[in-house]
Amino acid sequence: MRGYYTERLSAELLQRCYEIAPPRVRQYLDAEIEHVLSHVRASDAVLELGCGYGRVLGRLSEGAATAIGIDTSRSSLRVARDLLAKRGNCRVLCMDAASLGFCDHAFDVVACVQNGISAFRVDQRALIAESIRVARPGGRVMCSSYAAEFWEPRLEWFRLQADHGVIGEIDWEATGAGVIVCKDGFRATTVDADGFERLTCDFNVQRQIRVVDRSSLFCELAV
């Protein structure tokens, strides 16, 4: 399951996932990016965890001095390098989000958006610990999952992905309560507010958990 985005849902197939997104999902995707950008200054160094083919990273680079994205899918990163080739302040690297190869305090903003914290299938506490480690004092770590009220648009989007062969056939009997299960083994979970509280309660940071656009649940840590 951890390798799903590396071995199956990557590169052009991952692009297709977003190309077929219905209007309400496109609104959600844009709202997340705009929310992160509202916390980015022109002088900032930004790190995106799970940058895929560069869809979000390109937008973040428009508001930052430098933008670095990491992912474990080499095929997605090849597409990202082509997509972002003309952006001189962008760079993408193959790296595990739970074991970052950056020095301490390297970034002003660390973003793990669009449910990456669940999709990566890594130790979530380790991911957050690493994000805090590489964030500068006064910086911000921003993680997002799906809001509970976004269940119906999210389910429709995943149905479209299954219909287009982007993911496996949905197992409707096993799907529910915020979890989408496919017959090929894919399982899309989320982190709720209590989950974010548990994951971050041991860190010496200021925490804010809020819903954005009635579609995203953001956990924002001021380092």
Measured between alpha carbons, how far is 103 from 49 in angstroms, rounded to an integer?
Answer: 15
> For 106-137, how does the pLDDT look when each residue is reduced to its tens digit (9 = 90+)?
999 999 999 999 989 899 999 999 999 999 99
The percent of residues in the chain predicted with pLDDT above 70, rounded, is: 96
> For 30-39, how does the pLDDT look when each residue is reduced to its tens digit (9 = 90+)?
999 999 999 9
Q: What does the block give as tokens for 171?
A: 């197992």
| Residue 70 contacts residue 94 (beta carbons within 8 Å) | yes
What pLDDT score does 129 carry? 98
* pTM, entire model: 0.94
Taking the CA atoms of the chain, what radius of gyration do you get in angstroms? 16
Of the candidates 20, 7, 3, 35, which has an alpha carbon nearest to the alpha carbon of residue 213? 35
Splitting the chain (223 residues) into consecutive groups of 10 residues, what average pLDDT does each group show? 61 88 98 98 98 96 98 93 95 97 98 94 96 98 98 97 93 96 93 98 97 98 97
Instruction: Tell me how far apart the 2 most distant CA atoms of the chain are, in Å.
Output: 49
Strands 206-212 and 216-222: antiparallel
